[in-house]
Structure 1
Amino acid sequence: MPKYVIEREVPGAGDLTSEQLQGISQTSCGVLRNMGPEIQWVHSYVTGNKIYCVYNAPNEEMIKEHATQGGFPANVISKVSTIIDPTTAE
Protein backbone atom coordinates (compact mmCIF):
# COMPACT_ATOMS: atom_id res chain seq x y z
CA MET A 1 0.00 0.00 0.00
CA PRO A 2 1.42 3.41 -0.91
CA LYS A 3 2.38 5.76 1.92
CA TYR A 4 1.78 9.52 1.82
CA VAL A 5 2.92 12.53 3.83
CA ILE A 6 0.28 15.26 4.00
CA GLU A 7 1.23 18.81 4.94
CA ARG A 8 -1.69 20.64 6.53
CA GLU A 9 -1.43 24.39 7.16
CA VAL A 10 -3.12 24.94 10.53
CA PRO A 11 -2.26 28.34 12.02
CA GLY A 12 -1.45 27.93 15.71
CA ALA A 13 -1.35 24.12 15.49
CA GLY A 14 1.42 23.96 18.06
CA ASP A 15 -0.77 25.82 20.56
CA LEU A 16 -3.79 23.51 20.24
CA THR A 17 -4.87 21.99 23.54
CA SER A 18 -4.97 18.25 24.09
CA GLU A 19 -8.78 18.49 23.99
CA GLN A 20 -8.66 20.25 20.61
CA LEU A 21 -6.23 17.67 19.24
CA GLN A 22 -8.48 14.91 20.56
CA GLY A 23 -11.44 16.46 18.74
CA ILE A 24 -9.51 16.70 15.47
CA SER A 25 -8.39 13.08 15.89
CA GLN A 26 -11.94 11.91 16.59
CA THR A 27 -13.21 13.67 13.47
CA SER A 28 -10.45 12.09 11.38
CA CYS A 29 -11.10 8.61 12.76
CA GLY A 30 -14.84 8.96 12.14
CA VAL A 31 -14.25 9.84 8.49
CA LEU A 32 -11.78 6.95 8.16
CA ARG A 33 -14.33 4.48 9.56
CA ASN A 34 -16.85 5.62 6.96
CA MET A 35 -14.32 5.42 4.12
CA GLY A 36 -13.32 1.83 4.89
CA PRO A 37 -10.08 -0.03 5.55
CA GLU A 38 -8.28 1.05 2.37
CA ILE A 39 -7.09 4.28 3.99
CA GLN A 40 -5.18 4.30 7.29
CA TRP A 41 -3.82 7.10 9.45
CA VAL A 42 -0.37 6.11 10.76
CA HIS A 43 0.54 9.18 12.86
CA SER A 44 1.01 12.94 12.70
CA TYR A 45 3.58 15.54 13.74
CA VAL A 46 2.23 18.81 15.11
CA THR A 47 4.48 21.84 14.63
CA GLY A 48 4.01 25.58 15.08
CA ASN A 49 1.63 26.22 12.18
CA LYS A 50 1.44 22.88 10.40
CA ILE A 51 0.47 19.29 10.96
CA TYR A 52 2.31 16.61 8.98
CA CYS A 53 0.32 13.40 8.67
CA VAL A 54 1.46 9.99 7.47
CA TYR A 55 -1.22 7.89 5.78
CA ASN A 56 -1.41 4.61 3.91
CA ALA A 57 -3.83 4.82 1.00
CA PRO A 58 -4.24 3.36 -2.47
CA ASN A 59 -4.11 6.78 -4.15
CA GLU A 60 -3.93 10.54 -3.67
CA GLU A 61 -7.62 10.97 -4.49
CA MET A 62 -8.57 9.03 -1.36
CA ILE A 63 -6.35 11.33 0.73
CA LYS A 64 -8.11 14.35 -0.80
CA GLU A 65 -11.53 12.83 -0.10
CA HIS A 66 -10.63 12.26 3.55
CA ALA A 67 -9.56 15.91 3.83
CA THR A 68 -12.78 17.12 2.19
CA GLN A 69 -15.04 14.98 4.37
CA GLY A 70 -13.16 15.91 7.55
CA GLY A 71 -12.87 19.61 6.76
CA PHE A 72 -9.08 19.42 6.97
CA PRO A 73 -6.63 21.22 4.70
CA ALA A 74 -4.37 19.04 2.59
CA ASN A 75 -2.03 21.69 1.21
CA VAL A 76 0.68 19.31 -0.01
CA ILE A 77 0.29 15.57 -0.59
CA SER A 78 3.54 13.70 -1.26
CA LYS A 79 3.80 10.02 -2.12
CA VAL A 80 6.68 8.39 -0.24
CA SER A 81 9.17 6.74 -2.63
CA THR A 82 11.22 4.98 0.02
CA ILE A 83 12.00 5.19 3.72
CA ILE A 84 15.51 5.51 5.10
CA ASP A 85 16.83 5.59 8.65
CA PRO A 86 20.20 5.20 10.39
CA THR A 87 20.29 1.50 9.51
CA THR A 88 20.43 2.50 5.83
CA ALA A 89 24.03 3.58 6.45
CA GLU A 90 25.08 0.09 7.49
Structure 2
Amino acid sequence: MPVFMIERRYADDLELTADDADGVNRINADEGVEWLYSFLSADKRKTYCLYEAPSAEAIRRAAARAGLPADVVVEMSATVRPDGSMAPL
Protein backbone atom coordinates (compact mmCIF):
# COMPACT_ATOMS: atom_id res chain seq x y z
CA MET A 1 0.00 0.00 0.00
CA PRO A 2 1.34 3.51 -0.76
CA VAL A 3 2.85 5.56 2.07
CA PHE A 4 2.16 9.29 2.47
CA MET A 5 3.59 12.13 4.56
CA ILE A 6 0.98 14.70 5.64
CA GLU A 7 1.76 18.15 6.98
CA ARG A 8 -0.97 19.58 9.19
CA ARG A 9 -1.02 23.19 10.42
CA TYR A 10 -3.18 24.09 13.42
CA ALA A 11 -4.41 27.54 14.49
CA ASP A 12 -4.02 26.57 18.18
CA ASP A 13 -1.77 24.20 20.11
CA LEU A 14 -2.64 20.59 19.39
CA GLU A 15 -4.19 18.79 22.35
CA LEU A 16 -5.00 15.16 21.50
CA THR A 17 -6.62 12.67 23.87
CA ALA A 18 -6.84 8.90 23.54
CA ASP A 19 -10.54 9.33 22.68
CA ASP A 20 -9.65 11.84 19.95
CA ALA A 21 -7.10 9.42 18.49
CA ASP A 22 -9.64 6.58 18.62
CA GLY A 23 -12.16 8.69 16.69
CA VAL A 24 -9.57 9.53 14.04
CA ASN A 25 -8.60 5.86 13.73
CA ARG A 26 -12.24 4.80 13.28
CA ILE A 27 -12.76 7.35 10.49
CA ASN A 28 -9.48 6.32 8.89
CA ALA A 29 -10.55 2.67 8.92
CA ASP A 30 -13.76 3.61 7.09
CA GLU A 31 -11.61 5.19 4.34
CA GLY A 32 -9.01 2.38 4.20
CA VAL A 33 -6.36 4.66 5.76
CA GLU A 34 -3.89 3.68 8.51
CA TRP A 35 -2.17 6.30 10.68
CA LEU A 36 1.33 5.01 11.43
CA TYR A 37 2.70 7.85 13.58
CA SER A 38 3.18 11.61 13.78
CA PHE A 39 5.86 14.11 14.74
CA LEU A 40 4.70 17.21 16.65
CA SER A 41 6.53 20.52 16.22
CA ALA A 42 7.97 22.26 19.29
CA ASP A 43 5.26 24.96 19.15
CA LYS A 44 2.52 22.26 18.93
CA ARG A 45 1.03 23.87 15.83
CA LYS A 46 2.23 21.46 13.14
CA THR A 47 2.32 17.72 12.75
CA TYR A 48 4.10 15.62 10.18
CA CYS A 49 2.23 12.34 9.91
CA LEU A 50 3.05 9.08 8.17
CA TYR A 51 0.10 7.13 6.75
CA GLU A 52 -0.57 4.10 4.60
CA ALA A 53 -3.50 4.71 2.28
CA PRO A 54 -4.85 3.67 -1.12
CA SER A 55 -4.62 7.29 -2.34
CA ALA A 56 -4.03 10.90 -1.34
CA GLU A 57 -7.76 11.48 -1.85
CA ALA A 58 -8.61 8.83 0.77
CA ILE A 59 -6.41 10.72 3.25
CA ARG A 60 -8.09 14.03 2.39
CA ARG A 61 -11.57 12.48 2.81
CA ALA A 62 -10.64 11.02 6.21
CA ALA A 63 -9.10 14.32 7.34
CA ALA A 64 -12.20 16.27 6.30
CA ARG A 65 -14.47 13.86 8.15
CA ALA A 66 -12.28 14.10 11.28
CA GLY A 67 -12.11 17.89 11.10
CA LEU A 68 -8.33 17.81 10.62
CA PRO A 69 -6.24 19.88 8.23
CA ALA A 70 -4.29 18.09 5.50
CA ASP A 71 -2.30 21.01 4.13
CA VAL A 72 0.31 18.99 2.25
CA VAL A 73 -0.04 15.33 1.20
CA VAL A 74 2.99 13.75 -0.48
CA GLU A 75 3.41 10.15 -1.58
CA MET A 76 6.72 8.65 -0.41
CA SER A 77 8.67 6.18 -2.53
CA ALA A 78 11.71 5.23 -0.41
CA THR A 79 13.71 5.85 2.72
CA VAL A 80 17.20 7.34 2.56
CA ARG A 81 19.64 6.18 5.22
CA PRO A 82 22.59 8.14 6.67
CA ASP A 83 25.01 6.07 4.58
CA GLY A 84 23.24 7.24 1.41
CA SER A 85 21.53 3.94 0.69
CA MET A 86 17.87 3.89 -0.27
CA ALA A 87 15.21 1.32 0.49
CA PRO A 88 11.83 1.26 -1.26
CA LEU A 89 8.78 1.54 0.96
Question: What TM-score does the superposition give when structure 2 sets the normalisation length?
Answer: 0.78
Partner amino acid for 1:40?
E
Structure 1 stretches of 4+ moved >3 Å:
none
Tell me: CA distance 1:8–1:26, structure 2 relative to 1, closer, same or farther (3 Å).
Answer: same
Structure (1 or 2) with the greater helix fraction: 1
1:88 Cα offset (Å): 4.0
1:40, distance to aligned residue in structure 2 (A): 1.0
Under a length normalisation based on structure 1, what TM-score does the superposition of the two structures give? 0.77
Gaps of 5+ in 2: none
- 5+ residue gaps, structure 1, are none
CA RMSD of aligned residues (A): 1.7
- Work out whether residues 27 and 66 of structure 2, in 8 Å CA contact, stay in contact via their aligned partners in 1: yes
* Percent identity of equivalent pairs: 27
Indicate which of 60, 63, 73 corresponds to 1:64: 60
Q: Does structure 1 conserve the Cα–Cα contact (< 8 Å) formed by 2:37 and 2:51?
A: yes
TM superposition shift of 1:87: 5.1
Paired amino acid for 1:7: E
Q: Which amino acid is 2:8 matched to?
A: R
Q: Which has the higher strand share?
A: 2
- What SS does the aligned partner of 1:33 have? helix
Pairwise CA distance, 1:32: 1.9
1:66–1:75 distance in 2 versus 1, CA, 3 Å: same
Equivalent of 1:43, from 37, 43, 53?
37
